[in-house]
Amino acid sequence: MTDATVVPGLEGVPATHSAISHIDGTAGLLSYRGYPIAELVAQSHYEEVALLLLDGELPKAKDLERFDAGLRAHRQIKYNVREIMKFLPVTGHPMDMLHCAIASLGMFYPQQELSDAERDNASHLDAMAMRIIARIPTIVAMWDQMRFGNDPIPPRSDLSHAANFLYMLHGREPDPLHARILDACFILHAEHTINASTFSVLVSTSTLTNPYHVIAGAVGTLAGPLHGGANQRVVEMLEEIGSVDNVVPFLEARLAAKEKIWGFGHRVYKTTDPRAAILKEMMEDLAQAGHLRQSRQFAIARALEEAAAERLGSKGIHANVDFYSGVLYHEMGIRSDLFTPIFAMARSVGWLAHWREQLSNNRIFRPTQNYTGASTRAYQPLSERHA
Ligand SMILES: CC(=O)SCCNC(=O)CCNC(=O)[C@H](O)C(C)(C)COP(=O)(O)OP(=O)(O)OC[C@H]1O[C@@H](n2cnc3c(N)ncnc32)[C@H](O)[C@@H]1OP(=O)(O)O
Ligand SMILES: O=C([O-])CC(=O)C(=O)O
């Protein structure tokens, strides 16, 4: 039998039909449910975008109000989850903690198998999704307090999703500008077609496992440095570069050693990722308004993007979403190992939209392989295996 062609990394292979988001990788365009990302960042807010992604349409006022009230009401997490988190090593990466804590939610908020009727019930699925989206920021902020020996700061229900996260993280009323910027970042990270972590969502959902397993698996996938984990490495790389003067020597040395530049390159975009362009513009605006503390890091990032354009642009390698997000979070005084958990917080919406879409037309994922191992052979007892 002739082998079927294997496409490494499934590049260009459609894995599903989806109506959630669309990328034009040549023109550098991204839209959610038909709405260009820039318009959503300029005119909407994360809670509304979440419902748009989950349900397919911009919500009516009463539906948005109900969803937002639900998010606010479900921010608290059970004491038992906190007890489990106490046993985790404080030196562990917050993405490992998040993976573990989300998986544990399935034990404390048991979600038995969904009946056929529940799988078809949009408001039931929205309510399940809303509870997960509401709790992830609490887990991340709680951990950031606990690992430094502090008591977690309980969530507030009078603040938006973004503002409440900053409040739980820093323990003070959030700067409205920071809350607005974080909200924009949440929108920009909310969804991105069939990326690696979302593909993991499709696969795990297709077995009809519970949504906590689905989201924990996606968190684990996002953590990798080739995916969401790149945003932390970008800032570490900028620190290693240290000055604008060192940008070109660093870049040349790195490329000569065949090492990747974090925050560059993309499977789908062959031009600048539109999200990176929006993040950069936000940084420029902040700099002009005198709001940047660490403009040095931003200056290095800009210089690196320029130098990389000369060396890598002709290969279709440009800045991706992870390139400027970390610089922005750093400006808000957020620790670098929380950058990827923040990505996960925002992306939980996209993951859950795909969870719903997969459930609505499910068939278990079960691809095939081209076998390259030994032909069938007889077992050899240990006593007969000589060196
Ligand atoms: C949210 C996100 O997930 S966005 C992506 C975040 N990840 C990163 O920033 C990590 C750095 N980037 C990368 O590793 C890749 O560009 C990926 C993983 C994003 C895409 O991977 P792929 O589509 O499989 O591209 P692949 O890794 O095969 O690269 C193709 C070519 O471009 C080069 N290339 C790709 N990205 C980079 C980079 N960041 N720096 C230098 N060279 C690069 C590769 O070395 C390869 O060159 P070659 O053809 O001469 O061997
Ligand atoms: O689409 C991808 O492969 C990765 C990405 O940018 C994302 O998940 O936001």
Instruction: Give pLDDT tens digits for 30-44.
Output: 999 999 999 999 999
Q: Which ligand is nearest to the CA of 257?
A: 1
CA distance 154 to 131: 16
Which helix (DSSP H) or strand (DSSP E) does residue 381 occupy? none
Digit-by-digit pLDDT tens for the chain (387 residues) are 567 899 999 999 999 999 999 999 999 999 999 999 999 999 999 999 999 999 999 999 999 999 999 999 999 998 889 999 999 999 999 999 999 999 998 888 766 678 888 888 888 888 899 999 999 999 999 999 999 999 999 999 999 999 999 999 999 999 999 999 999 999 999 999 999 999 999 999 999 999 999 999 999 999 999 999 999 999 999 999 999 999 999 999 999 999 999 999 999 999 999 999 999 999 998 888 888 776 889 999 999 999 999 999 999 999 999 999 999 999 899 999 999 999 999 999 999 999 999 999 999 999 999 999 999 999 999 999 987
Q: Which pLDDT tens digit goes with each residue over 80-133?
A: 899 999 999 999 999 999 999 999 988 887 666 788 888 888 888 888 999 999
- Counting from 1 in the atom list of ligand 2, the atom nearest the Cα of 321 is 6
- Using the mean position of ligand 2's atoms as its centre, give its distance from the Cα of residue 195 in Å: 5
Give whole-number Cα distances, 358 to 8, 15, 113, 204, in Å.
24, 11, 15, 10
- Counting from 1 in the atom list of ligand 1, the atom nearest the Cα of 222 is 3
- Counting from 1 in the atom list of ligand 2, the atom nearest the Cα of 196 is 3
- Report how far Cα 215 is from the mean position of its chain's Cα atoms: 11
pLDDT at position 300 is: 96
- Using the mean position of ligand 2's atoms as its centre, give its distance from the Cα of residue 367 in Å: 22
pLDDT at position 349 is: 98
pLDDT at position 109 is: 76
Give whole-number Cα distances, 66 to 33, 47, 48, 71, in Å.
21, 11, 11, 9
Residue 365, helix vs strand vs coil: coil
- Which residues participate in catalysis according to the annotation? 266, 322
- Using the mean position of ligand 2's atoms as its centre, give its distance from the Cα of residue 293 in Å: 29
Q: Which ligand is nearest to the CA of 324?
A: 1
Q: Which residues have any ligand 1 atom within 6 Å of their CB? A: 9, 195, 226-228, 230, 260-267, 312, 315, 317, 320-322
Of 191, 197, 226, 231, which is best to mutate to test ligand 1, by the most ligand atoms within 8 angstroms of its C-beta? Answer: 226
What pTM was estimated for this model as a whole? Answer: 0.96
Which helix (DSSP H) or strand (DSSP E) does residue 340 occupy? helix 339-360
Number of Cβ within a 10 Å radius of residue 255: 14
Residue linked to tokens 């440009």: 318
Which residues touch 354 (CB under 8 Å, ≥6 apart)? 18, 20, 198, 201, 202, 205
Residue 13, helix vs strand vs coil: coil
pLDDT at position 112 is: 65
Which residues touch 180 (CB under 8 Å, ≥6 apart)? 162
Q: Which pLDDT tens digit goes with each residue over 245-262?
A: 999 999 999 999 999 999
- Using the mean position of ligand 2's atoms as its centre, give its distance from the Cα of residue 191 in Å: 8
Token pair belonging to 47:
């809670």
Q: Which ligand is nearest to the CA of 318?
A: 1
CA distance 78 to 82: 7
- Using the mean position of ligand 2's atoms as its centre, give its distance from the Cα of residue 321 in Å: 8
Contact 31, 274 (CB under 8 A): no
Q: Which pLDDT tens digit goes with each residue over 58-79?
A: 999 999 999 999 999 999 998 8
pLDDT at position 292 is: 77
- Counting from 1 in the atom list of ligand 2, the atom nearest the Cα of 267 is 3
Largest CA distance in the chain: 78
Which residues touch 36 (CB under 8 Å, ≥6 apart)? 29, 30
pLDDT at position 226 is: 98
Q: Which residues have any ligand 2 atom within 6 Å of their CB? A: 192, 195, 266-268, 320-321
The ipTM, to two decimals, is 0.99
